[in-house]
């Protein structure tokens, strides 16, 4: 489970990350990263899983899997960053390994774009 202090909850945070952040996509997901969008210090992560992905059961499962994957990668994010992960319809049939591979790929590109990569 994603720690409570790292969950994005406010609409303004989602909007800020999507509109002003860098974007990278793969077949199963798209991620938006705004390196210094949160003055509070914690990196925040939010998820968008639309009805195009599937019914409520499928959407919930996809969101839980993405939360679990992002939790393990929070340390890679710069402090105070906003990350929004949007699931594409293909995410419903993807394995956890495929989602992890796509997430690692987009995070690597986003961190490189922001100059915060390793």
- State pLDDT tens for residues 14-25: 999 999 999 999
Given a cut of 60, whether residue 98 has pLDDT beyond it is: yes
Confidence of residue 116 (pLDDT cuts 50, 70, 90): low
Domains of the chain with CATH codes:
4-109 (3.30.230.10)
Say what the pLDDT of residue 5 is.
85
Q: Rounded to whole angstroms, how far apart are CA atoms 90 and 88?
A: 5
> What are the φ and ψ backbone dihedral angles of 38, each rounded to 5 degrees?
-120, 110
What is the phi/psi pair of residue 79, to 5°? Answer: -55, 140
Q: How confident is the model at residue 114 (pLDDT cuts 50, 70, 90)?
A: confident
DSSP 7: B
What's the confidence (pLDDT) of residue 90? 96
* pLDDT value of residue 118: 47
Note the pLDDT tens digit of each residue in 34-61. Answer: 988 667 678 999 999 999 999 999 999 9
DSSP secondary structure string for all residues of 37-106: --TTSS-EEEEE--TTT-SHHHHHHHHHHHHHHHHTTGGGSPTT-EEEEEE-GGGGG--HHHHHHHHHHH
Supply the pTM of this predicted model. Answer: 0.90
């Amino acid at each position: 489970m994603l720690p409570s202090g790292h969950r994005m909850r406010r609409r303004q945070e989602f909007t800020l990350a999507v509109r002003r952040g860098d974007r990278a996509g793969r077949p199963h997901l798209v991620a938006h990263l705004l390196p210094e969008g949160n003055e509070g210090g914690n990196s925040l992560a939010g998820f968008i899983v639309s009805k195009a992905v599937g019914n409520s059961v499928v959407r919930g499962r996809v969101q839980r899997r993405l939360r679990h994957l992002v939790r393990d990668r929070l340390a890679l994010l710069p402090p105070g960053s906003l990350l929004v992960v949007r699931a594409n319809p293909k995410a419903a049939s993807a394995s956890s390994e495929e989602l992890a591979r796509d997430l690692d790929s987009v995070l690597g590109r986003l961190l490189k774009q922001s100059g915060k990569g390793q």
